[in-house]
Structure 1
């Protein structure tokens, strides 16, 4: 049986709906862990904003609760903001 996090990668973060909405980096979690540095930090930040803006629609399509998605995206945003403020020295790993 696959671990719940692995299933979430495909069903939620790798869902075609995110790509359809314009997310470019977060959907790649379906394939592997993400190592985000430099300009990619801003792109991931924008992916998070797209997800939050469309959270109701994403929740309906993926069957993951709005609360589940919102908690994880807001948590990720905290790390992205720190990395953006220090992007010459920091990156993030999303796994």
Structure 2
């Protein structure tokens, strides 16, 4: 199972309408186990992250007025990928984890940028 990321807009009826993922983009935000081993890990928490750690216990919804702060947190994580990436997994090298997390984080950043462009939000589930 995989985590997905989507941008959304809030309609006049108050419902969230998910935006299509543009061609050339992806909606993958990582493996389901990354809820705790990456996004909700102690390493991410130690950076002061507050959005991503929510994924350890539930889905994450970033409301439109929070997207700028969420993008700041994405930048914080990006600048600390070496710290965030698990290093104790004998099945995968630390460098491979860094590469995979960077790719999935790019998908999250892209969705957040699309959301910001239409005054929308982001959901990761």
* Band of TM-score, shorter chain: 0.7 to 0.9
1:51 and 2:77 equivalent?
A: yes
Which residue, out of 51, 57, 60, partners 1:25? 51
Greater helix share, structure number: 1
| In 2: Cα distance, 1:76 partner to 1:51 partner | 12
Which 4+ residue blocks in structure 1 deviate beyond 6 angstroms? none
- Quote the RMSD (CA, aligned, Å): 1.9
Long gaps (5+) in structure 2: 3-30
CA distance in 2: counterparts of 1:26 and 1:94, whole angstroms:
9
The aligned length equals 91
Q: Indicate the SS of the match to 1:23.
A: coil
SS in 2 for 1:39: helix
Bigger Rg, structure 1 or 2 = 2
Unaligned runs of at least 5 residues, structure 1: none
**Alignment correspondent of 1:93:** 123
Post-superposition CA distance 1:25-47 (Å, at most 9, x none): 01111111112112221121111
1:23/1:35 CA distance change after superposition, 3 Å: same
- Of Structure 1 and Structure 2, the greater strand share is in 2
- Taking structure 1 as the reference length, the TM-score comes to 0.83
